[in-house]
Amino acid sequence: MLKTATNQSQGMLLFRLNSRQLFAIGTLKVKEIVPFTPLTAIPQSHPTVLGAASLRGDTLPVIDMAKAIGYPALTQEELKKCYIIITDCRRKLVGFLVRGIDKITECNWHNIDAPPPSLGRNIFVTGVTNIENQLVQLLDIELLLSKVFPDSPESLHPVLTDVQRETLRPLKILLVDDSAVARRQLCQAMDSVSIPYHIATTGTDALRMLNQAADAGQPFEILVSDIEMPGLDGYELAFEVQNNSKLTGTYIILHTSLSSEISVSQAHQVGAHEALTKFEANELIHAMLRGAHQHQESKVG
């Protein structure tokens, strides 16, 4: 049941940043939706941060989402009719001000396609789908947040001893993430400590690479995968790996931008060895080291 329930448990929140195009984010990232509330200015904040809101004991920054992705900024007259989508992502509560909320709908995440080349390369879209004959663009919230609140260099560069580095270097490691910014962070972390790796942008591609490597007698020892991906998500990928006898030696590390105990619990239920809320490079590298040690122990045993 878990295999088929993971994608079905997340719907889509549809909203508008202009009068024409529908946008969406997965409901697991959404904590609450509230009407516009007066904001307190934040000195020296990013130009897209309109201020801070105090909601239910939490103070959180509020971003003009339209302006953040390149659309016209909200006017003062529009603000009172807008809504704030409060998200819990990358260990941070953030509000996104949008022009209108359309609805929350069920979604088959396997029906989400990659963005067409016509949208260009520097976009905040991870996928597109069609809902009730309307094109919907799925926004890359992680990329947006990384532009407004850049990660500190320390969080991207792990610290390893020579012994730890040499423990990881011989292993075949596969990184999987649909988000361009998350892939870049993963690659920077690995490159900074000179650890080789392979990369996939979808769960389907990752499963194909895992099977091909196993068939060639050179299986991947460590799999690091995002959870929230269109198509074959991280839960399903872990489930497929654990239910394939030729892949069961793979040490599975799932990571998520959601600060949720539910995500971590589900990750363990589908067979993942580790579940991390991303992104902190040292946490990730040390999870890999635990995988390396498990492989060493299994060889000794």
Residue ranges per structural domain of the chain: 9-148, 153-300
Q: Rounded to an integer, what distance in angstroms lies between the CA atom of residue 86 and that of residue 97?
A: 9
Per-residue pLDDT reduced to its tens digit, 109-130: 777 887 777 766 557 888 888 8
> For all residues of the chain together, what is the average pLDDT?
86
Identify the architecture of domain 153-300 in CATH: 3-Layer(aba) Sandwich (3.40)
CATH class, 9-148 region: mainly beta
Please state, for a pLDDT cut of 70, what percent of the chain lies above it: 90
- Provide the pLDDT for residue 5: 37
pTM assigned to the model: 0.68
241: which residues sit within 8 A by CB, 6+ positions away?
207, 210, 223, 247, 248, 250, 252, 271
Does the pLDDT at position 204 exceed 60? yes
* Higher pLDDT pick, 162 / 66: 66
Q: According to the model, what pLDDT value does residue 261 have?
A: 58
Contacts of 284 by beta carbon, 8 Å cutoff, 6+ apart: 158, 186, 189, 224, 253, 255, 276, 278
pLDDT tens readout for residues 144-195: 888 898 877 666 678 887 788 889 999 999 999 988 888 888 898 899 888 9
pLDDT band at residue 259, thresholds of 50, 70 and 90? low
Average pLDDT of the segment spanning 51-61:
90
